[in-house]
Amino acid sequence: MMDELIWKISHLDELSSTNDIAKELASDGCDEGTVVIAGIQTSGRGRLSRRWISPKGGLWFSIILRPQMLPEESNLLNVLASVSICKVIRNKFNLNTVIKWPNDILIEEKKVCGILIENSVTSGQIEYSVIGIGINTNIDNSYFSEELNATSLNSEVNREINNENLLKHILSEIKLSYDNLRRGEITSLLNEWVEMNCLIGKMVKAYDESRVIVGKAIDVDDSGNLIVNTKNGDIHKISSASIKIV
């Protein structure tokens, strides 16, 4: 019988990075379900150490989980988080949100949310995972430079967003999906990911470590890897890469 996931929330006005603080707490043995929230992040970051602008008004938080899974299965946590957030934003705000693999949530091709997952591995198994989530909620779009191609929820719905209420709904959805994941019930989650993902059925270029792979994104496997079919019929499973639609 699995232990019930109970959220334990810690809110700080300003810190460097919620992921950095969460990793320190996790290393010190804090409980699964610990959530670190920041009013402002001074050194927020996304994938590949890219800077994530995190001013007052946004929803910046990190979740600590201790999943019983292998490192190569960790993309399922990205699937879990992105589906949960996309679903909540769709349901609460009636916005056409989609997932851009591996870690972005988009509205009309503009980024509204980013996810950064960092794992600690011991003896070939994940000791803990920190899921960092940044959502542009109450931020004027004039704050974003043109090259960021970003938007915010309040700009899309023309009203202020209740961050506390949004967080409550996201955590509730993540708990439901995480409980299913721990029971091995992943089919519904993966099907939702495919339906929500803007890459499926598109020609993509994936920059995967030293390789460049061009082909059609056709599916996601049971470990959360993107499956790409090249024009010569080769099938590639991509676990981490920068991807562009071509």
For the cut 80, the answer to whether the pLDDT of residue 199 exceeds it is yes
Where in the sequence of the chain do the CATH 3.30.930.10 domains occur?
8-196
> Which tens digits make up the pLDDT trace of 61-83?
999 999 999 998 998 999 999 99
For the cut 60, the answer to whether the pLDDT of residue 154 exceeds it is yes
**pLDDT in the model for residue 67:** 95
Reported as a pLDDT band with limits 50, 70 and 90, residue 144 is: confident
At the topology level, CATH places domain 8-196 in BirA Bifunctional Protein; domain 2 (3.30.930)
What average pLDDT does the segment 9-34 reach? 95
HSE-CB for 211 with a 13 A CA cutoff? 11
> Which tens digits make up the pLDDT trace of 33-50?
999 999 998 866 655 556
Question: Which is higher by pLDDT, 164 or 237?
Answer: 164
Any idea what DSSP says for residue 31? P
Reported as a pLDDT band with limits 50, 70 and 90, residue 25 is: very high
Q: What is the mean pLDDT of the chain?
A: 91
Any idea what DSSP says for residue 239? S
Mention every residue, 6+ apart, whose C-beta is less than 8 A from residue 60. 18, 37, 38, 39, 40, 41, 44, 54, 133, 134, 135
**pLDDT in the model for residue 51:** 66
**pLDDT in the model for residue 86:** 97
Closest of 4, 48, 35, 16 to residue 182, by C-alpha: 4
CATH of 203-245, one of 1.10.3720.10, 2.30.30.100, 3.30.420.60, 2.60.40.10: 2.30.30.100
What average pLDDT does the segment 4-8 reach? 94
Where in the sequence of the chain do the CATH 2.30.30.100 domains occur?
203-245
**pLDDT in the model for residue 245:** 85
For the cut 60, the answer to whether the pLDDT of residue 107 exceeds it is yes
For the cut 90, the answer to whether the pLDDT of residue 85 exceeds it is yes
SS3 14: strand
0.85 exceeded by pTM:
yes
